[in-house]
Amino acid sequence: MTESFTICYNKNDNDHKMILRGKQMKILFVSSETVPYAASGGLADVAEALPIALKEEGVDIIRVMPKYRGIEDNYELKREFSFIVETGGQAKVADVYTLNYDGVLTYFIGNADYFERDGLYGYTDDDERFGFFCKATLEMLIFLNLQPDVIHLNDWQSALIALFMKKEYVHLDFYHNIRLMFTIHNLQYQGVFDKSVLDDLNLPTKYFNMDAIEYHGKVCYMKAGIVYADLVTTVSKTYAKEIQTPWYGYGLDGLLRKYADKIYGIVNGIYYDKYDPATDQALEHNFSVENFIEMKPKQKASFQRELGLPERDVPLLGVVTRLAEQKGVDLIIQAMERLLNQDVQFVILGSGDYFYESRLKKLESEYPDKVSANILFNQNLARRIYGSVDIFLMPSLFEPCGLSQLYSLRYGTIPIVRRTGGLGDTIIDHKESPEESTGFLFKNYNSDEFVQSIQRALELYQQKDDWNALIKRGMTTRFSWNKAAREYIEQYERIME
């Protein structure tokens, strides 16, 4: 970018939107999944929301993702052109499509061999598939004569772009002024593959060393993003520190400590217009911060009726999660077993590990008047849980950011979370700061501390004035995408300088 660039706030703008003076900042946002086109987790939510918020803040933002099977069935993609990318020792065709939806232009890179499949990930050639995607994304820019100021990479699937651009394409002037940001959404998934992928992608073996992308005799795509990007971000400030420790670093903590000076955390946001209990059609009885005392109990009663639970004014505790160890499901089950002798009810929504699924269904069969275990995922049911229960349980082993605790606040439900990652960054504990609190936290990963935090919440539940004050603070707390977008803009400017 050749023209001068500064950031300021327009004081006459009631929304306090960030204004860019000089040339408009251009960002290319690269992700392997995006809502509403294809999604398997939180990355897709970020890839939808952050570019829209960046555009609202004045950024020229463009997205890139693979064209998976079925996207064209629901959206009218426009085929633009095709070109050849060499992978796996063959000339592979990259088909480029576009779609302008929600005001953001998205490029889709297609290839029948790699992406016309039933799922997004989990194939034996994922290394080659996403290596192709990385090469095609970079080379597509030349065909488009598109030179962004920053390419924003996300997780291992797009991380090789950093290595290709900084090392293999460095001789091309076209890429010299482009900067790279790499965001880690979940360090547990690193893209570790056999060394043979170097040959498949025409990468020299010189990169097979500890300072590049070698990892315990394998190739690690995540390392490419960490080593070669100009800035590494994570989705919360605490997680940025946690991943530099052995407990959370999944073998990469030493590397992350080495590059600590370029690691920065930015908390994700949520759409407050999209997730609004006053207008959400998934709820039978809508409510707002002005009338939740009257209307939320009606919603709770109708939900108890739907679940087949007795319609009683007892604490209703909810869980919406993937049934996996990371999400603290073992602690949830242990807590349920210890608390079901009290006058409480539980509703769980999720699927995953069969061991957890079967234990939850067993509890439902033993306590049919107290437990509703829904082994599936349904977005509308999830929203009804957020909007109907009194307490939301989220005792994660680790949580890079977490969105469920933010949804629960928005829907007038009190979260109980473990102090890890973004959970500790977004929830204020009632015991530590009663006048500012928004929920309950516990520190160590064990059922004793978790149950103690639940007992604290159950005691406050009986003190209706204090409980309603806690609900009101949560409903008025804001973690918006516009706030996150402004932080990203500051970091884009930082590496552009």
For 92-138, what is each residue's pLDDT tens digit? 999 999 999 989 999 999 999 999 999 999 999 999 999 999 999 99
- Residues contacting 291, CB < 8 A, separation 6+: none
Kindly report the average pLDDT of the chain as a whole number: 94
- Burial call 204-226: b when 16+ CB within 10 Å, e when fewer: eeebbeeebbbbeebbbbbbbbb
Q: What is the pLDDT of residue 483?
A: 94
Model pLDDT for residues 299-339, shown as the tens digit of each residue = 999 999 999 999 999 999 999 999 999 999 999 999 999 99
pLDDT at residue number 494: 95
- What are 42's two structure tokens? 């939180």
Residue-range domain boundaries for the chain: 5-269+482-496, 292-478
Q: What is the pTM for the complete model shown?
A: 0.89
Backbone angles phi, psi at 275, to 5 degrees: -110, 85
Residue 16 has pLDDT above 50, yes or no: no
Fold classified for 5-269+482-496: Rossmann fold (3.40.50)
414-418 vs 440-442, strand pairing mode: parallel
Does 170 score more than 60 pLDDT?
yes
- Say if residue 74 is exposed, middle or buried (CB neighbours under 10 Å; 0-12, 13-18, 19+): exposed
Spatial CA neighbour of 430 closest among 402, 447, 452: 452
Residue 417: predicted pLDDT: 98
Angstrom distance (rounded) from CA 458 to CA 317: 10
Strand-pairing partners, residue 87, are 90
> 236-284, pLDDT tens digit by residue?
999 999 999 999 999 999 999 999 999 999 999 998 988 999 999 999 9
User: In the prediction, which pLDDT does 9 show?
Assistant: 40
Beta strands in 189-340, from DSSP E residues, in sequence order: 192-193, 214-215, 218-220, 231-234, 263-265, 316-320
Domains 5-269+482-496 and 292-478 share a fold: yes
Q: Collect all residues with Cβ–Cβ distance below 8 Å to 73 and sequence separation of at least 6.
A: none
Phi/psi for 29 (5° steps) reads -105, 115
If you average pLDDT over residues 439-466, what whole number do you get?
Answer: 97
> How high is the pLDDT of residue 415?
98
- 447-461 vs 464-476: helix axis angle to the nearest 10? 110
| Euclidean distance between CA atoms 409 and 292, whole angstroms | 13
String of DSSP letters for 376-426: S--HHHHHHHHHH-SEEEE--S--SS-SHHHHHHHTT-EEEEESSHHHHHH
122: left (phi over 0), alpha (psi -120 to 50) or beta: left
Helix ranges restricted to H, 63-125: 71-74, 112-115
Binned at pLDDT 50, 70 and 90, residue 41 comes out as confident
Which of residues 128 and 10 earns the better pLDDT score?
A: 128
The answer, yes or no, to whether residue 17 has pLDDT greater than 50, is no
pLDDT of residue 8: 44
CA distances from 151 to 63, 304, 342, 425, 429 (A): 10, 48, 54, 27, 38
**How many Å apart are CA 374 and CA 357, to the nearest integer?**
9
- Assigned token pair, 464: 């209706």
Strand 90-101 vs strand 78-87: parallel, antiparallel, or unpaired?
A: antiparallel
Element (H, E) at 442: strand 440-442
How sure is the predictor about 22, in pLDDT bands with cuts at 50, 70 and 90? low
Give the pLDDT confidence of 198-238 residue by residue, as tens digits. Answer: 999 999 999 999 999 999 999 999 999 999 999 999 999 99
Q: What CATH number matches the domain at 292-478, 3.40.50.2000, 1.10.10.10, 3.40.710.10, 3.20.20.70?
A: 3.40.50.2000
Q: Is the pLDDT of residue 15 over 50?
A: no
